[in-house]
Structure 1
Amino acid sequence: MEQSRYMNLESPDYYFNRELSWLDFNLRVLEEANDPSNPLLERVNFLSIGSSNLDEFFMIRVAGLQDQLKFGYSYPDTKTQLTADEQLEAISKKNRRNVTLQYQMLNQMKAELAKEGIYFTEVVDLNDSERAEVEAYFQKSIFPALTPLGIDAYRVFPNLNNKLLHLFVHLSNKKERHIAVVPISPLLNRPYILQGENGTKILLLEDIIRSFLDALFPGYEIENVFSFRITRNADFDIHEEDAEDLLSVIEDYLKQRKNGVAVRLEIDTRTSNEYLAESVEFLKNELELKDRDVYYFDGPLDLTVLSEIASSLEDQYPELVYPPFQPAIPKEILQKNIYEVIDQQDVFLHHPYDSFQPIVDFIQQAAEDEHTLAIKQTLYRVSSHSPIVAALKQAAENGIQVTVLVELKARFDEENNVHWAKELEESGANVLYGVTDLKTHSKISLVIKKQADHLVRYVHLGTGNYNDKTAKIYEDMGILTSNEEIAEDATAFFNYLSGYSEVPDYKHLYVSPYDIRSSFLDYIEKEIAFHKQYGNGRMIAKMNSLTDKTIIMKLYEASQVGVKIDLLIRGICCLRPGIKGVSENIRVRSIVGRFLEHSRIYYFHQNGKNHLFLSSADMMTRNMVKRVEIEFPVLDQTIRTEILSILDTYLADNQKARELDVSGTYQYIKNDHPALSAQEEFMREMNE
């Protein structure tokens, strides 16, 4: 009898908690700010990314746990058996360590920036002429946009917007004391940069306002003022089944999000005095928050401002940012008609090393070709000035039948997607809003052309969004093909989305919420069987996150019989590697670097058959149960060899890769092999 049958693979000791694993990922992002191999302004930017990530984590994940408590949902996490309350306590403890480190690194980088002539300063430290310049700027460009909100019996506690900076003010006159709140508009530029002979001085908007705050309260003395910021629940249920128009439902949802329940309160303690404790207690009571929801910082709040600062300085200090990198056009399609190339061979693209322009050309050339009959495409997240959308609109206006599924429920891109849905509809395109109760996260395009007396179909399948902006910083993969069986699958997929039919019987594609998890389990089971017979079991999987318990348990079974498993997981990993008798044949690595690792690659050795898949889906329950995702095989042997070589390069990384141990700690990989950063290697290869 197999060893796994004697062991309880559901034991909570064999899993990491999803939320705590996410905090470990964000720590890896923050730690990049400490890596001297990163240019200084890029290190500053990593601190900003960490703050942006954390905002979303609180708005969605922490908010969800707080909702569970609020509504009496007492079931524990299925993997680690932690209740919502226990998870919130653990999150508070771990996150405080993370943000303490973040602010320590900020102070360290301020000193390093000062050596380069870049200074973070305040109004009180300016000379007379600089102060006069800043005061004039305040009077002309800031003061008119400020609205102080008094709080008393006649003016109730105001509705304070999500993620907005506010000033909390204690003031008095000869008769009485008062409190007020000053919201700081996000439309005002937060960093103010002074250029002088002695270098660059950076002031923050809230510090400028605080220095001239008496202008808002004439006749009153400012006794104390501090900055604070509220994070609100942004995760609401969208009631789709009874909706006559999902567009209007989403628009109502966006309004609701701005006023969600508070989940976090951040306090800047630098200017606080004896009034701070009572002020925070007042805010906690008004916002119905607990002590664990309050974070105190000896520094500015909302460090996402650091990315604005870094961006504004990169031209002036080019030596402090990454060297420029220009994506390449693959040689096989360079200066050629992309459709003529696809007629002859499949084309592989590895972004951002390969340019995203061929994907734009794929749609643009179809829009301009009189032989094009139809274009069908899914859109999840697109840029604000998307050339893809522009080409689709042009195609519709040219009389081509255009069908676009715009996923309105793409979190934090809902407003942008509502806009594009309306634009596409006005151009004459057929616009689908998604699938009831599911998010359509798949990345697929289908172009149908008439050639002589027959039709030819062309397909693009990818792991990343049709977004020309993020394609410059997200690592993703895609394949362009005219393979007839893939085209038949693509046609069936779009017909299923746009019309009424039973779930298609695909020849090559696996589509969630029905098939992807089953395909993974099936291939792992086959790998186990092959290993028992031939002793050469091998799997490699690259993804953003691994959370699905069913798949983790099957990976444990494979490890127990001796299958060697390498997992490249950028973010969350609930699998605990290195447990004797359970997961000692599983190695988990994470790469955080210049580009965001986003592709999903799944390789099964299968005794030399080398089955290789790309997918829009991670091994996460939500991807395989609550989303429309596509997993597709790499059929071309040349492309398969190239992707396997890419995986080997990732596994050889000893500069940016960290390995997860059984305790949950990630350690940089150190070995005697020549120094190799996978991302640097891919850039070098593109420039050859």
Structure 2
Amino acid sequence: MTKQLSHYVNRDLSWIEFNRRVLSEAQHPDTPLLERMKFLAIVSSNLDEFMSVRVAGIQDQIKAGYHKKDFTGYTPGGLWIRLLKHTSAMVAEQYRTYRETLRGLEKEGIRFRRLQDLTSTQQSAMEIYFREIVFPVLTPMAVDQSRPFPLVHTKELYLAVLLHKEGSEMEEEPLFAIVQVPSILPRLVQIPGKINSKRTEFILLEDLIEKHMDTLFNGYIPATVDAFRLTRNADLTLNEEGAEDLLEEIEKELRRRRWGMPVRLEIARDMHPYALEILKEELEIGDNTIEIDGPLDLSFLMKLNGLVPGREHLRYGKLEPVYPEEFEESDDLFEVIRRRDVLLYHPYESFEAFNDFVTQAADDPDVLAIKMTLYRVSGDSSLVQALTKAAEQGKQVTVIVELKARFDEERNIAWARQLEKAGCHVVYGLIGLKIHAKMVLVVRREEDTLRRYVHVGTGNYNESTAKLYTDIGLFTSHPVIGIDASALFNEVTGYSVPHNWKAFAAAPTNLKERLFELIDREKDHALAGRPAKIIAKMNSLSNQDMIDKLYEASQAGVKIELIVRGVCCLRPGVPGRSENIRVISIVDRFLEHSRLSYFHNGGEEEVYLSSSDWMTRNLSRRVELMCPVLDGELRNILINILMLSLNDNVKNRELQSNGTYTTVTREGAPFRSQFEAMKIENWKNLL
């Protein structure tokens, strides 16, 4: 008898499918070779976060004796076994792809070498580099009765060394030590070559250290040297209600993260059994040990592109973001936004336009106040500099900094302190809620009144990721949106009853209910025999109530097209439940990150942009906003953007009812949505 499928796809198994789509970009013959290496690095980084957060959480449930099934039908124990199997298979496939790509790069003169294969001149150069640069920062750590096992930091690379004392019997039990491969030094060490050589050659830092290991242990002979890497539980468990100062509490938790419970141990292939036995015993790792046939942690490949000169055919062609033509009409951005709303589509349009907006607000003597949210900020942010300048000039500057933005906590703490020193009012969010909304409010004195200028977006105010992520930003001076923006800031920074929203919908108060109303309205149109359609684009869809609501709409006859880059727990194409739902995913050069919703509404079309995915955490445990696009021309532009994705027949993968994804094949010329979006006229032209 065939086992009946659950109504839902498991979230973590769906994530595995997403990372496979990333891996497929590294395997595709049309992906330039250096870009394939970047995708391999992304696969590793994704797996690190998945292991340290999602798998760590499942491990915690198992240890706590939790055996109940989730809404997709999995117990923690059963899911754990499947995830280990799937991730192990993925890693093996990732490293097969790595070796194949390396062979392709070797034909282009880009090689990873072993020290013993270098010329004597090159070996001498590497020995000098080791002695002068590497050796001074290495610390050998012996383990014996007087020296306990040292702290192994999460996601750092180490070498396990078995040693014999010179002159001792080799049959004696070896001594054990570990050496951390210093992350402060480049993992890829370039080997000097001949002048005008067309070759670019590297040696891995850990290989260089291994070959000189004897210099760290005078009087001892290294018998074996094996790489290993530990991943710990990195999820912060904050006692927010008991914390007098959230910033201090987060700083304490960041320190505790170093001692998080081990989740995964990666080891080099054919690691010496005795060394492995010591590691497993000391680290108490259990069964989650993965043997790697190649260098551990391929995230270092992200740097390879920048280390190889020339060879442009091995990269994607350069994208030069255009400055929005609307803002080229005048040096006064406020004048432009007063006349009409302006839409930005990153990375095809430049993030500099947003920086210019904040900079102008900081410099303008008529601007009285600037309020904004910061979730993830780039390392060298001109935005923070502009806010600092505004505060120093006496403007009221309020910045809501989300300290709980995972893996960006330390950076955000640093920015928060810098802003406070400049005189900004810094708010660290709310107890139990992350501030994930993307919004800026500028209050400006104009003649006898005050006018509000608002920017709302789908992505973080981060100029680095704005070159890599597809996101939408909207500038508007519409008074209703301005009133809602003021109300949302007041709710976060002060005491305020929930606002009666006129334009926005906001989580956790009414965003979910508003989406349900919009879906139900389409359902009513369908039941009345009128055309009914929903198109929604997001990163993830995993909220059970939302999925059930979409199933209801599908059963009523609403045509639903979902563009979900990552996790999708909805099962499309099931007769009697979801046959009117199509789900696609696009993984390509840029990270699809924008959140858009379209509702046909009996021909009175409505389009919304949002900071929120349709996940439980976004709808109930975060401050999010959804904003309507009121300008008809801009609505059509957003519909064009959605249609670009739906018409993609190159990078489009369609979710099947069994939870797997297949390549979309369609007659006609190849249509690659991101490459088509580089031609601005393809989405700016009206339908």
Q: Give the TM-score normalised by the residue count of structure 2.
A: 0.96
The equivalent residue for 1:290 is 286
Q: Residues 236 and 254 of structure 2 are in contact (CA less than 8 Å); yes or no, is this contact kept in structure 1?
A: no
Please state how far the C-alpha of 1:418 moved relative to its aligned partner.
Answer: 0.6
The equivalent residue for 2:199 is 199
Q: Give the number of equivalent residue pairs.
A: 671
The equivalent residue for 1:586 is 581
Task: Select the residue among 547, 553, 560 that pairs with 1:552.
Answer: 547
Task: Select the residue among 430, 439, 457 that pairs with 2:434.
Answer: 439
Q: 1:42 is aligned with what amino acid?
A: E
- Correspondences of 1:560-639 after superposition (within 5 Å): 560-639=555-634
1:476 aligns with 2:451: no
Q: 1:393 is aligned with what amino acid?
A: T
Q: Residues 353 and 686 of structure 1 are in contact (CA less than 8 Å); yes or no, is this contact kept in structure 2?
A: no
Whole-Å separation in 2 of the counterparts to 1:419 and 1:565: 44
Task: Select the residue among 300, 303, 306 that pairs with 2:301.
Answer: 306
Secondary structure in 2 matching 1:534: coil
1:179 aligns with 2:173: no
The equivalent residue for 2:259 is 259
Task: Select the residue among 639, 643, 646 that pairs with 1:648.
Answer: 643
The equivalent residue for 1:7 is none
Whole-Å separation in 2 of the counterparts to 1:86 and 1:195: 52
Question: After TM superposition, which residue ranges in structure 1, 4 or more long, deviate above 6 angstroms?
Answer: none
Whole-Å separation in 2 of the counterparts to 1:384 and 1:221: 44
Percent identical residues: 46
Whole-Å separation in 2 of the counterparts to 1:645 and 1:308: 35
Please state how far the C-alpha of 1:335 moved relative to its aligned partner.
Answer: 4.8
Whole-Å separation in 1 of the counterparts to 2:207 and 2:161: 13
Whole-Å separation in 1 of the counterparts to 2:364 and 2:212: 61
| Counterparts in 2 of 1:663 and 1:12: CA distance versus 1, 3 Å | closer
Whole-Å separation in 2 of the counterparts to 1:602 and 1:61: 28
Please state how far the C-alpha of 1:75 moved relative to its aligned partner.
Answer: 2.6
Whole-Å separation in 1 of the counterparts to 2:100 and 2:192: 22
Secondary structure in 2 matching 1:13: coil
Deviation larger for 175-184 or 633-642: 175-184
CA deviations 1:660-681 (Å, max 9, x no partner) are 1112221111111221111000
Alpha-carbon RMSD across the aligned residues, in angstroms, is 1.4
Whole-Å separation in 2 of the counterparts to 1:201 and 1:482: 55
CA deviations 1:292-332 (Å, max 9, x no partner) are x110011000100111122211x332221111111111211
1:188 aligns with 2:188: no
Secondary structure in 1 matching 2:327: coil
CA deviations 1:595-636 (Å, max 9, x no partner) are 100000111112112121110000000000110000111111
Task: Select the residue among 89, 92, 101 that pairs with 2:81.
Answer: 89
Secondary structure in 2 matching 1:247: helix
Q: Residues 12 and 80 of structure 1 are in contact (CA less than 8 Å); yes or no, is this contact kept in structure 2?
A: no
Q: Residues 381 and 413 of structure 1 are in contact (CA less than 8 Å); yes or no, is this contact kept in structure 2?
A: yes
The equivalent residue for 1:321 is 315
Please state how far the C-alpha of 1:254 moved relative to its aligned partner.
Answer: 1.2
Please state how far the C-alpha of 1:526 moved relative to its aligned partner.
Answer: 1.3
| Counterparts in 2 of 1:493 and 1:404: CA distance versus 1, 3 Å | same
Deviation larger for 229-238 or 332-341: 332-341
- Correspondences of 1:430-509 after superposition (within 5 Å): 430-509=425-504
Secondary structure in 1 matching 2:455: strand
Task: Select the residue among 32, 42, 50 that pairs with 2:25.
Answer: 32
The equivalent residue for 1:281 is 277
Deviation larger for 595-604 or 662-671: 662-671
Q: Residues 125 and 192 of structure 2 are in contact (CA less than 8 Å); yes or no, is this contact kept in structure 1?
A: no
Q: 1:286 is aligned with what amino acid?
A: E
CA deviations 1:257-282 (Å, max 9, x no partner) are 1221110000111xx46xx2232232
Task: Select the residue among 58, 61, 69 that pairs with 1:65.
Answer: 58
Q: Residues 122 and 192 of structure 2 are in contact (CA less than 8 Å); yes or no, is this contact kept in structure 1?
A: no
Task: Select the residue among 518, 523, 544 that pairs with 1:523.
Answer: 518
Please state how far the C-alpha of 1:360 moved relative to its aligned partner.
Answer: 0.7
1:104 aligns with 2:101: no
Whole-Å separation in 2 of the counterparts to 1:287 and 1:85: 21
Please state how far the C-alpha of 1:561 moved relative to its aligned partner.
Answer: 2.1
Whole-Å separation in 2 of the counterparts to 1:640 and 1:24: 32
CA deviations 1:381-432 (Å, max 9, x no partner) are 1111111111111000001011110111111111111111111111111110
Whole-Å separation in 2 of the counterparts to 1:53 and 1:399: 43
Please state how far the C-alpha of 1:224 moved relative to its aligned partner.
Answer: 1.1
Q: 2:237 is aligned with what amino acid?
A: D
- Correspondences of 1:387-406 after superposition (within 5 Å): 387-406=382-401
| Counterparts in 2 of 1:198 and 1:488: CA distance versus 1, 3 Å | closer
Q: Residues 232 and 263 of structure 1 are in contact (CA less than 8 Å); yes or no, is this contact kept in structure 2?
A: yes
Q: Residues 458 and 487 of structure 1 are in contact (CA less than 8 Å); yes or no, is this contact kept in structure 2?
A: yes
Deviation larger for 345-354 or 330-339: 330-339
Whole-Å separation in 2 of the counterparts to 1:19 and 1:286: 29
1:145 aligns with 2:145: no
Whole-Å separation in 2 of the counterparts to 1:12 and 1:108: 37
The equivalent residue for 2:38 is 45
Please state how far the C-alpha of 1:98 moved relative to its aligned partner.
Answer: 1.0
- Correspondences of 1:95-134 after superposition (within 5 Å): 95-134=87-126
Q: Residues 534 and 607 of structure 1 are in contact (CA less than 8 Å); yes or no, is this contact kept in structure 2?
A: no
Please state how far the C-alpha of 1:30 moved relative to its aligned partner.
Answer: 0.9
Whole-Å separation in 2 of the counterparts to 1:114 and 1:296: 25
Please state how far the C-alpha of 1:686 moved relative to its aligned partner.
Answer: 6.1
Q: Residues 12 and 81 of structure 1 are in contact (CA less than 8 Å); yes or no, is this contact kept in structure 2?
A: no
Please state how far the C-alpha of 1:290 moved relative to its aligned partner.
Answer: 2.1
CA deviations 1:117-140 (Å, max 9, x no partner) are 011111121111111111111111
Deviation larger for 215-224 or 386-395: 215-224
CA deviations 1:541-581 (Å, max 9, x no partner) are 10000000001011111112221111100000111111111
Whole-Å separation in 2 of the counterparts to 1:483 and 1:379: 23
| Counterparts in 2 of 1:646 and 1:198: CA distance versus 1, 3 Å | closer
Please state how far the C-alpha of 1:198 moved relative to its aligned partner.
Answer: 6.1
| Counterparts in 2 of 1:673 and 1:170: CA distance versus 1, 3 Å | same
CA deviations 1:151-206 (Å, max 9, x no partner) are 11111111110111100111112344211111112111110112423612111100
Q: Residues 366 and 445 of structure 2 are in contact (CA less than 8 Å); yes or no, is this contact kept in structure 1?
A: yes
Please state how far the C-alpha of 1:45 moved relative to its aligned partner.
Answer: 0.5
Task: Select the residue among 360, 377, 381 that pairs with 2:355.
Answer: 360
CA deviations 1:215-252 (Å, max 9, x no partner) are 11122222111100000111021111122222211111
Whole-Å separation in 2 of the counterparts to 1:29 and 1:44: 11
Whole-Å separation in 2 of the counterparts to 1:214 and 1:624: 57
The equivalent residue for 1:80 is 72
Deviation larger for 518-527 or 278-287: 278-287
Q: 1:362 is aligned with what amino acid?
A: F
Q: Residues 345 and 472 of structure 2 are in contact (CA less than 8 Å); yes or no, is this contact kept in structure 1?
A: yes
Whole-Å separation in 2 of the counterparts to 1:495 and 1:262: 42
Q: Which runs of 5+ in 2 are unaligned?
A: none
Whole-Å separation in 1 of the counterparts to 2:474 and 2:539: 20
CA deviations 1:334-359 (Å, max 9, x no partner) are 15221101110000111111111111
Please state how far the C-alpha of 1:289 moved relative to its aligned partner.
Answer: 1.8
Q: 2:242 is aligned with what amino acid?
A: D
Whole-Å separation in 1 of the counterparts to 2:198 and 2:648: 41
